[in-house]
Structure 1
Amino acid sequence: MAGEIGASMIRNTIASKGEASIILATGTSQFETLNQLLKEKDIDWSLVTVFHLDEYIGLPITHPASFRKYLKERFFDLVELKAYHLINGENDPEKECERLAGLIEKHAIEVAFVGIGENGHLAFNDPPADFGTKKPYLVVDLDEACRKQQLGEGWFPNLEAVPEKAISMSVHQIMKSRFIICSVPDQRKAQAVKDCLEGEVDPMHPASILQNHPDCRLFLDQESSSLLSGT
């Protein structure tokens, strides 16, 4: 469903503007959404520019946990895009943030596909997230809960192997997107979903900021929504 609605938004944008710029997330929560987007054969991907949310600092693209590797293998190598802009965590981090900022500032993002982390993070904006910065990309520290999630999802052999720093798209940049499609499956996300949807907007629950977006569509399953009031 998330992929189908997102695809409709992309088609409508291409019809009205002649092109579309979107943001893609990674991780196990995005498998179904990306697969559905690939099935939508009537999207002219040659008119679509893609940015992605985050990448570990110092991790080569050949590493199984590399988000560049994830997107290239699961999406970019399977469609002909107008352009895609990967975060290179092997470059100087601050210069890479500046490079990416110069690129994304030329684009009005129509659709951002995102998820919510087990610690409530949005992209790699772990708590307490920086809600104030206007920079499009940031160098961030990954907290232990975030790093344990990456380990638990099977991307790394042990916690020591999980990088402690990453480059992340900022909360402000994500919120500038015209539409946000947020997919959050699994029981392990249930507490974060409750905190971010039913609590106050708070940097300690970064994805709670989505409450302030004018058009954010949230897609939960039975497990991830199990702690919400009334369920």
Structure 2
Amino acid sequence: MNVRILENAKVLGQEAAEFCAQELRRLIKTKGKARLVLSTGASQFETLESLVTMDIDWSRVEMFHLDEYVNLPYVHPASFRKYLTERFLDQLPIPLGEAHFVNGEGDLETNIATLTREIRKAPIDLALIGIGENAHIAFNDPPADFDTQEAYIVVNLDDKCKKQQVGEGWFDTLDDVPTQAITMTVHQILQSAMIVSCVPHKVKAHAIRDLFMNDVTNQIPATILKNHPSFTLFIDENSASEVDRELIGHLNS
């Protein structure tokens, strides 16, 4: 695990974007293309804002994303398809090579089968995986399913996850948050050749503390990332505030 602590969310976003851009440029140069997974949410604002400005041949990048609410229309402000279209695709200087969205509307079984077929055509090169306030990765809330070999599954959202969505302003009340989502599984996330997690802000401090202070457990889903051979964690002074710096240094490899 490689840990980088930055001053604040803006600097974190800039550093993480440059780190990812270097890897994407390397992949495009050596392989001719790159397969990318993006996450969403308020913690990813600064990273995506910087990433779209990077000098990358986006026409050679194929994008997937992590999750989407079940039965939430694309036009809803909380739709992750809408989020990535407006904050990523529409901001690129040239069109993206290909984009595969998680669609939580219509026939979910067919939607999942289509996504699974596409994502398993070749390995994912780089995955930006956020960490939630309850330490979830994608919508794999605790206790996360570490055993399924599926690529995407339908999950029930726990109350802490729903409260995060309200706290970030995506929904007005807890009752407005959908009860289910389609999510990329833990197994599929771990198939990525490189994982980068951008986790700024004080509200994530407890989750980051739990990540560092616990062994791998599905009660703290993000702990599984520590087992990945190429995992880089970007945190800021706020999200790192509950962790002993000596412990971070000990685990930093």
TM range (shorter): over 0.9
Residue number among 128, 131, 138 corresponding to 2:153 in the alignment: 138
Note the 1:169-208 alignment, pairs <5 A: 169-208=184-223
Q: CA deviation at 1:38?
A: 0.9
Q: CA deviation at 1:10?
A: 0.4
- Matching residue's letter, 1:113: L
- Matching residue's letter, 1:149: Q
Q: CA deviation at 1:95?
A: 2.2
User: Is residue 87 of structure 2 the alignment partner of residue 74 of structure 1?
Assistant: yes
User: Is residue 117 of structure 2 the alignment partner of residue 116 of structure 1?
Assistant: no
Aligned to 1:152: 167
Aligned to 1:38: 52
Q: Is the 8 A contact 1:130 1:203 kept in 2?
A: yes
User: Using the alignment, how far apart are the partners of 2:91 and 2:209 within structure 1?
Assistant: 36
Q: CA deviation at 1:32?
A: 0.9
User: Using the alignment, how far apart are the partners of 1:91 and 1:52 within structure 2?
Assistant: 18
Aligned to 1:225: 240
Which moves more between the two structures, 57-66 or 85-94?
A: 85-94
User: Is residue 36 of structure 2 the alignment partner of residue 22 of structure 1?
Assistant: yes
User: Using the alignment, how far apart are the partners of 1:188 and 1:35 within structure 2?
Assistant: 21
Aligned to 2:144: 129
User: Using the alignment, how far apart are the partners of 2:81 and 2:17 within structure 1?
Assistant: 20
Q: List gaps (5 residues or longer) in structure 2.
A: 1-14, 247-253
Q: CA deviation at 1:194?
A: 1.0
User: Is residue 26 of structure 2 the alignment partner of residue 12 of structure 1?
Assistant: yes
User: Using the alignment, how far apart are the partners of 1:93 and 1:111 within structure 2?
Assistant: 26
Aligned identity (percent) is: 51
Q: CA deviation at 1:184?
A: 0.5
- Matching residue's letter, 1:32: E
CA RMSD of aligned residues (A): 0.9
Residue number among 105, 116, 120 corresponding to 1:101 in the alignment: 116
Where 1:77 maps in the other structure, the secondary structure is helix
Please list the CA deviations of residues 172-210 of structure 1 after superposition, one character each: whole Å capped at 9, or x if unmatched. Answer: 111111111101111111111111222010000001001
Q: Is the 8 A contact 1:94 1:139 kept in 2?
A: no
User: Using the alignment, how far apart are the partners of 1:223 and 1:12 within structure 2?
Assistant: 32
- Matching residue's letter, 1:26: T
Aligned to 1:87: 102
Q: CA deviation at 1:107?
A: 2.4
- Matching residue's letter, 1:64: P
Q: CA deviation at 1:2?
A: 0.7
What is the number of equivalent residue pairs in this alignment? Answer: 230
Please list the CA deviations of residues 70-91 of structure 1 after superposition, one character each: whole Å capped at 9, or x if unmatched. Answer: 0001111233111000011112
Q: CA deviation at 1:151?
A: 0.3
Please list the CA deviations of residues 8-38 of structure 1 after superposition, one character each: whole Å capped at 9, or x if unmatched. Answer: 0000000000000000000011111111111
Q: Which runs of 4+ in 1 moved over 6 A?
A: none
Q: Is the 8 A contact 1:111 1:180 kept in 2?
A: yes
User: Using the alignment, how far apart are the partners of 1:230 and 1:18 within structure 2?
Assistant: 40
Note the 1:41-56 alignment, pairs <5 A: 42-56=55-69
User: Using the alignment, how far apart are the partners of 2:24 and 2:110 within structure 1?
Assistant: 31
